[in-house]
Amino acid sequence: MDILVGWHIDGSQAITVTQYASCSLQKLTRYWVADLQFSLTLLGQFLEDMEAYGEDLVFPTSGRSSPADDPPPTPEDCILRITSLIRYDWLQL
């Protein structure tokens, strides 16, 4: 799941990879419905991720513990990640 969602929100991926990830997530529909508790837990994690991207957007250096950490994402990266998670084609489960 993490890999598919990661590919889906990674703006540097080719559109074919993003579409493949989206289609793969949609094909799991029957599993989302079959185990609603799991699905709700996963949805909660997605919401936490969006909240973190929102915090990076507002406070780009928060949560960085050392200069060796990856540089903070740009505002454009944060917006792309947030909108990728809520894009219509992904929600057509």
User: Using one digit for the tens of pLDDT, what is the confidence trace for 46-59?
Assistant: 888 888 888 888 88
What pTM was estimated for this model as a whole? 0.63
Tally of domains in the chain:
1
The pLDDT of residue 73 is 78
**Confidence band for 37, pLDDT divided at 50, 70 and 90:** very high
Q: What are φ and ψ of residue 18, in 5° steps? A: -60, -45
Closest CA to 5 of 42, 34, 31, 37: 42
| Domain coverage including residue 61 | 2-91
The pLDDT of residue 34 is 94
Higher-pLDDT residue of 25, 72: 25
